[in-house]
Structure 1
Amino acid sequence: VASTFGTMLPQPRWLVVAALISGRNFPERPDYHLVCEARFNNEVLSTDPMPHTVQPLFEQELAWELDRSRLKQHRLHRTVLKIQLYAVHTSTPVKEAVGMFMLDLRSCSFNREYKWFRLLHCKYKGPPEVFCGIYLDTNEGDVDRNQVVKSGFGASLSAADLTPRVLSVREDFEQTANSDPTSQRVWHVIGPKALSKKPFLLTLKFGEVSNNLASLIPITKDLSTESHSGFFFSCDILGTSVATSCFDSPVQTNLSSEEHQFFIRSTVGVLRAYFQQISPIPVKLYYGTRCLARALVVSDRFLASADSTLQSAVILDGHFQLLPNEPSGKNVSSMIPTDEDDKPCISFSLQLRELQDRTPTQIQTSCQPQPVCISDSVKPDERADHVPGILRQRNWSPPQSKSDEVIHGIATHVSPLEAQHKELTKSDRGDNSGVNQCEVGRVSLSPRESIRRFCYTIELRSLKYFQSSDAELKVYARYVYPPFESGAPVMTMPPVALPRNEEVTLPNGFCAFEFASSLPELRERITATPLVVEVFVRSEEPQGSDSLLGRSMIQLGAIFNCPIHKASNSKSTTQRYAGVAELVSIRSVSENDLSGSGVQSDRIVGQLVYSLLLEDHGPHLMMKDTETEHKQVVISESEMGENKLHKLEDVRSTAEYRTAFELELWRANEEAKFTARLKQREQLLMATLAEEWHKRDNEREAICRKKLSEYQTLEDKLRSTLAELATRECQLAAGETELARIRQETSQQAELKRKETVQQARAEIRELEIQLKMEKTESQRWREQAEELRARCTDLENELNSVRNRLVQAQSHKSDESIDRNRSEQQQASYQLELAKLATELAKSRETIVDARRQLEDAQRGRDRYKHLWTRALHEVARVKQEADFNARQSLARREAELEQLRMRYLNMEEKEIMAKAAGMPESQPAASQTHECVQLYGSTRDRTDSRQNAPGSSGIEQKQTAAGTADSELERLMEERDSLLGTGVYEPDDPIIINLEKRIQDLLSQQ
């Protein structure tokens, strides 16, 4: 069956270990120490201070415990381990950052490899280096249940270093001025001799004991057979057994406050490791040489703070339950009571403080009882083998679940909110590992006459949320307050819906804490530690985790400023306080913001309404002393009655005794039969269970093999698909690269072609303009030639008509003059030849005229197009002028409003001056200066307004006068031509044609 249940064990846990060995190239700083600090997995670990030398020797390890899934998650996220080095001065606790280096968590394995790491962001000139390594270590196998695995400096100490050694004061310590040189103090040295230099005083104190110790006495053996009678308590610490004074009766236990003092020479880090090693400390109840019961005092949190010095005394105090050595029920006279208040307990306290080297410590040793040494043969070496929940982790300590250990001091640092939230989460999951102890509310070690009974009531009433969310939020509040010794968190369940800007009432928000303390210390501790209330959003998924919405900080010490109200019986007083706390978003706030004096307004997401009530029920020990006296009287009377009965008759010879003895024998026989039947039934059930388990295990194995084969097939398909996707991704990447290159080349070529086309177009346009000018000149010349040719053609036609008339006259006179005929024929032939030449020239002139007319029509069409562009430009100019006029009117309206404001201000100031003069008060200089300024502003604004009002009229008159001039038409033509050329987009203002037109326009404007 054991092998069958082996598959249900949790997955193994590993240790991530960062080993710091040594350093080099550090500067020599005698007054400083080096401390290495690392943050990982939301936890901070630091080493013990080392001397700041050129080659410091750390030789320490920092370890964190993780499971396999958590480690895999860190590796997927590429988490690095950042180790920061600080230089700490010996006289002040201020840390000075030296540098840092990082360790890659992905490279860590079970092989221990070390190398030199150079410090980054180092303040020293030389490059200091640290010889360090990171590796994995298993945390499986059989581990000693009493072993406490240490982290940081404690991991580098051996068992021999943590073994206390006894030295005399005259050997290793110097006597102070006020000390007695003849006194022989026994000093205990813990740790290496080179480090053990600070003196400490450890005070051990046995306090009150509950009155039900009789339930721990076994009945199977007669205690009168022991060699030495008497009850006493014993504790092993510093290699010494310390015992209390003996008391005879377990019913009447009156232990005076016995203190035992030990002088120790060590350091805070070594003492922290020592108390972690010896935890838990057994406090045993003896009768003679027989150990009857024990109480276990967990001391691994005694020095939980990481400080290297003790600013004040540290106290571990509480009531611890006594557990019987023989837990079987038939060996104890009565069963252990189930009620927490009736369980047998003992009050035990440890106090550690640092002694000053120059100021002698005044300690009263006259009333100290001498320690009673018990030999090893008398006291068995028992180390709490049955204690559950001994820690195997290196990076955290067990949460205090229902235990009234109090670790307090004046300068005790409050744990960060993240660590507190982590401990609360562990306590919710049922991580209640630790020693079972009775819960007794004690807060301090004040004197008996000053301890009073208090009841502090905290009620969370309602919650209001300011932010908006897409889904409906179901929230609940949760808090825990360590000073009240409450390990379990207080939650307002069930969750309630939280709409926006609406106040909802929190259910079950009332909780009362009862405890005993002195009023000054209660005021000091509550004022120093505020109550942090966390608001969680309930996850809708069954396996999902709740998310933190925000935190609110409540000052419980504010109740002491409220008035005190006495009850009707005049025995108790009450103080009430109601307030509203701001809910701060967890996404924008850190622990430093919560602990600060204020929170920025943009981080507030809600309000929490609460009320506080403190009730004082008077002195704590009055009722208890009365009950104790009453019990003593009853016990004395019962003892007197028993003595009288013993004198009358012998109990063993009575019939009642024999009947009781027979009943006891019958009970034992029946109990043995019942035990045998139970064992037989248990064997049958275990056999059936094993058979059924094997059957189901075979089925599970078959299903598992089938699933594994299917998963393997799917994994092969997935790998092939991933390979294809990787190939396609490479091809796509190459195609995208080629496409980007082609696009870039195409864009470059297009840009070059565009530039070339623009330049070519500009050159062609310029050539065409030159040709147009030449064509205009040529057309003008052709016009002149056509006119000349027309005139010549007309002359030739007239001459031809005259010639024809002469020919007609000559033919009519043929008969008269025959001689003149030949001459006329010759003249006619010459005339015909000239006529042919003139007809040819006339045809050529007509062709030239037709060409000139065609060119003239082309020029006319270009002129019409330019005139259209100029019209569009004029419309655009008109639109711009309208916008300018509209803007001017708006600015004028604003100026008039300012003027009206200044006028009203001026009138108000004049009224004030008049009232001041009427009251007989002298006018102040600032009022006069303000009046003068208002007058100046009023005048300047009025002048600007008048000038603007007069400006449009004057400009209109000038435009009318200029429009009447004769040069306006030429100016308009030039401006039209210039604007039309610029509107085409071909010409630029620096072209020669535009420059020439500008010069002509300027000349015309200067003439006007």
Structure 2
Amino acid sequence: MASKCDQLLVVVSVLQGRQFPKSTRQVLVVQAKFDGEQLATDPVEHREQPQFCTELAWELDRKTLHQHRLQRTPIKLQCFAVDTGTSAWEPLGYVVLDLRSARETTQANAPKWYPLLSTKYSKLKPALLLSLALENDTKQTPEPERFKAKDAPPRQGSPPRPGQAPGRLEPVLKEDEGYHQIGAADGSGDHFVLSVTVAFATRLEQLVSSETKLSQEASHYFFYYTLLGNDITSEPFLDLLSPSFEPERASVRVRSSVPLLRAYLEQQRSLQIHLCCGTCSLGSAEVPLTGLLKSDVDLDRQPTTIEGAFVLLPPNRAKQHLPPMPPDMQPTVGVSVTVWKEGVDVQLAGPRTLEPHAVVKGGPKSPRPPNPPAEQQILSPASPPRRSPVLGRVSPAPGPSHPQTESEAESLLEDSTPALQPVSGQPDAPNTSASVSAPKISIPSSAHHYCFSIDLRSIRDLNVGFPVNCVLRYTYQFFGSAAPIMTSPPMEIQKNMEVFLPKSYCAFDFAALPHQVQETFLRLPLVVEVWHRDPKTQDVLLGTASVQLSHLLTAEKTRFLGQSGQQHWRQTFSQRIPVVRARGRSDKVAELNYVTTLEDLGLVKVQDIVVSESSQSGNRGKKQEAPPKPPPDAAGAPTEPRETLEYKAAMELEAWKEMQEDLFDNQLKQKELKHMQALAEEWKRRDKEREALVKKKEMEYNLLEEQLQKTLADLEKREKQLAHAEMETQRLQREMRAEHEFSMRELQDGSRRLREDCHHQVELERSKVRLLEEERPRLQAQVQEAENKYKQLDKEFQLYREQQNTRPEIRLQSEMNLLSLEKAELERKLESTTKSKLHYKQQWGRALKELARFKQREQETAMIRLKRQEQELEQMRLRYLAAEEKEAVKTDKQQLEDIRNELNRLKQQEGRRSPRPGLEQEAVASDGVDEHLSRLLEERDTLLRTGVYTHEDRIISELNRQIQEAMSLRGGH
């Protein structure tokens, strides 16, 4: 079990976003995948600047972290928009984080903005504010795991788990069995194999901007895609004009059913394949997966395949507003996606030349190619418990013939690099007397031999207030030396003087990768300490000077030849830098002049460098003394010089030297030939690159020229339109101005005419007033005369009236008027009586209706319970109705009798008063009969409308009889 200090947490902080479109019916969720585990943030509002403020962490040990760094396992964050109404998940884009950039820090790293790749909001450029860090897992030792019940299976319609889309199928890795489970986890279903093959690529140079040189992009290119949550990279290649790489097939076992597998592929919709350069995506292609498993496909007999040449689209083409490429210039990648059932005899076809956008579906009908692609299947994942198998190309074990990754080189430099002692001037010759059993260091084949030298030339403008015995000291462990380097002897420096430092030149020989040198020089400066050495007291640190080695990387390169005639590169930089006080203040105490040189001596030839004991201890091995010569044989007799053994050995040595010189010359010629061929191939490749870039730039310039000509034509046309519109505007202004002046003149003329008319009208009215005043006395005289005539006529009328009152006809007329008034009064009383009776009848009808409703409600509620009492209630109702009818008949008879008496009385009075009693009595009788008949009809209709009575009831029959009598009486009159 790993110790507590070996446990680490990979923490990804998702802080906020920017430049997102606002949506009220959606929320944002960020999902992160790493080490076979998927984490997600809480849903937040879909607005312009969403605030996530969430940390996602994965637990792993240092060994697993080192393996992930070797395999360049990325951390993929994908942003989704979730519809709150339909729960549909819509991908917005993704971000890929490099685990190698994470460092162990006690404080959080500064967050960075990462733009979303393959986003649907290309114009808005949405981005996420993220930070990646490694933290020590300081949690307490967990207690033994107690019994814990398993989670109950989710019910139908239950809410989804956090981080998982409703209704989405997610593959679950079964490490022990070696497959991914899609669907139910009960182990049901068949085993299938899903494979993806990247076969070829064409016209990739179209994805690189014309302003960027291909040789400056990166050291290699590769294709990247994700298969069932596993990140896969293809074999890297160097040339975009003619990409040469072995076709690779990545396969994975899946356990599921055909419907579930088809639903999963429909959810995925497409497979995105990216052409990457380092950490940048130059373009991506969409391989549709929806038609891979159709309903008519029988996987029990044959596999199903989607293959073709798919167009790679650059991510920033929409931002640059460039016209679409012609079909013959579009970059493409050949991809084949195949699904088959295990146990079926499958012969997978190799890559072949496909036309762009061509999709060939079918089974194993094509023959197997002579060199099939290397297939990597993860059938039995042998990995740590918390790791998911990585599909795709597996890096070989580090060795002499395989390049190592950055993490391997760092480990070698940290663990096994010998401490090389720097020397003044040129470095000494290496010791050749190392033991065979001495430890060895494995140097990557891509490592370069570097020589770094620094010369601290002079120091001046010392400002400390006392004479100084100056000593300079520095150390830089990257060069392989942990011991400090000091200048000697101490130099006495006075104020306002410059002292040149003797024996301050130091050179370091080391092996490293080029990007390691670049990263280290950019990150770590070389700090030079300035000390005052006093033999009586302790040394005093006066200040420090920071030498920025990054200036060497930007310095001009010069070419020089080595001892063996090989071509090398040298970069030199010199500068004067201030020496800053070391005790909390930043004021300048001196100025240091230095010269630095970096020589690149090419690739390291010897892969295994033997480290002697003396080099491990930091000391150079001294040259061995020559063994003592044997004493001459004094007893030997003199012989012929050519016959001596020494002469023969010397001859053999000379022959051997000549043979070795010939061999060395042949090797030099072969190396020269190889180098010349490599230079020629490199020249041809770069010439092709330049030609391709020139063609691409010419095409872009032609397109831009066409757009410019079209724009100029539009501008000229628009300028003509503007000139015509300006002339038309001026003409309209002139017309409006003339019309305005004409209107003003008309208004002035009209106002003048109105004033004259008003003045004339006032004069007319004044003359009329004068005429009326003159007519007034005459009219007053006529009125006075008319009044006198009226008084005279009134007197005559009064006299005539008195004469007429004395006649009998006048008295009879007055009596008739009185009788008419009395008759009107009686009719009014009769009418009021009729109205009150009608009101009574209405109240009676309402009472009957209410009674009927009550009786119906009682019948409905007590129909079953009171069946035996129904007859009694019916009899009571009949008796009640009969009594009521009797009472109503009595009342009607009484009323009829009163009316008849009243009519008789009126008839008698009219008979006494009227000069024609017969006619008046007959008229009164006829009026009474009509009124009686109308009253009877109204009563019968009112009773029938209540719904209580029918035509068969006795009261209705009686009313009908009375109506018949009244009608016969009316006919008799």
Question: Is TM more than 0.5 here?
Answer: no
Task: Report the structure, 1 or 2, having the larger helix content.
Answer: 1
TM-score normalised by length of structure 1: 0.23
Q: Which protein is bigger by CA-based radius of gyration? A: 2
Q: TM-score w.r.t. structure 2 length?
A: 0.23
